[in-house]
Structure 1
């Protein structure tokens, strides 16, 4: 990991709620608003932006956990701004606090944990899992 990643670093993204972000299960829309699933994805994305400038060529970040509270709805066409702030950095583990807001105020808060690992180590782990799965299905 490159030097320079410091507590307090901030990244922001803005999205517009689209129909593919609606709360739905098995193709059926339950609520025509920004879903918790979509919010989770965007919280991970804005948190990833914190680490991207600091990854070495041989490294990659992996999501380890997301803890979020979805507090209010956001309808079709509404703008949602998600802001991640780096709150802790211990070795290769990075934590961010994320706030999601729309025109009416805070609609979600959360914490994202990422682990920075060598790409080689990630590939080795995935290869091990693939071998086990192939054995189980043969």
Structure 2
């Protein structure tokens, strides 16, 4: 990435800056495979979707019109269940920003009950470069 982007990113957010997102757990969020419910609680894949969305809020403000973010990793450490009808509050905070890479920590909670913790990574790339990286090999 260019130094211009690196400076822009560092000035916009700093370690500790936070974003939140709330999600009401529905039946579509439970752990189910091929129509069979495994556990009637919020599934790992549903948590992952909402964790990614929460940390993407930083990227949406950081990127330029000709740039896009792409996830580089996601860790989820389960701490407790979230049941259908409960609201999960996802809170993410900036751990570090180096050049075009954003690292965030997060926690997901229902009230005082911790549901999950972990870390995400994202990079901001020029759209043309990203499109080339995402082309299917022939």
TM-score, normalization by structure 1: 0.89
Question: Secondary structure, in 3 states, of the residue corresponding to 2:12?
Answer: coil
Report what 1:5 is aligned to.
13
| Partner of residue 55 from structure 1, selected from 35, 59, 63 | 63
Q: Which structure would you say has the larger Rg?
A: 1
What is the RMSD of the two structures over their aligned residues, measured on CA atoms? 1.2
Question: Which position in structure 1 is the counterpart of 2:96?
Answer: 88
Identify the residue that residue 73 of structure 2 maps to in structure 1: 65
Ranges of 4+ aligned residues in structure 1 off by more than 4 Å: none
How far residue 23 of structure 1 moved from its aligned partner, in angstroms, is 0.5
Distance 1:15 1:50 in 2: 18
The answer to whether the 8 Å contact 1:60/1:118 transfers is yes
Q: Deviations over 1:34-93 (max 9, x none)?
A: 111111111111000122111101110000100110111111100100000000111111
Structure 2 counterpart of 1:112, from 116, 120, 130: 120
**Contact 1:14 / 1:82 at 8 angstroms: preserved in 2?**
yes
d(CA) in 2 for partners of 1:61, 1:126: 13
Structure 2, gaps ≥5 residues long: none
Shift of 1:103: 2.4
TM-score in terms of structure 2 length? 0.89
Quote the residue 2:36 is aligned against.
28
The match for 2:54 is 46
| 8 Å Cα contact 1:46/1:83 also seen in 2 | yes
CA distance in 2, matches of 1:80, 1:44: 14
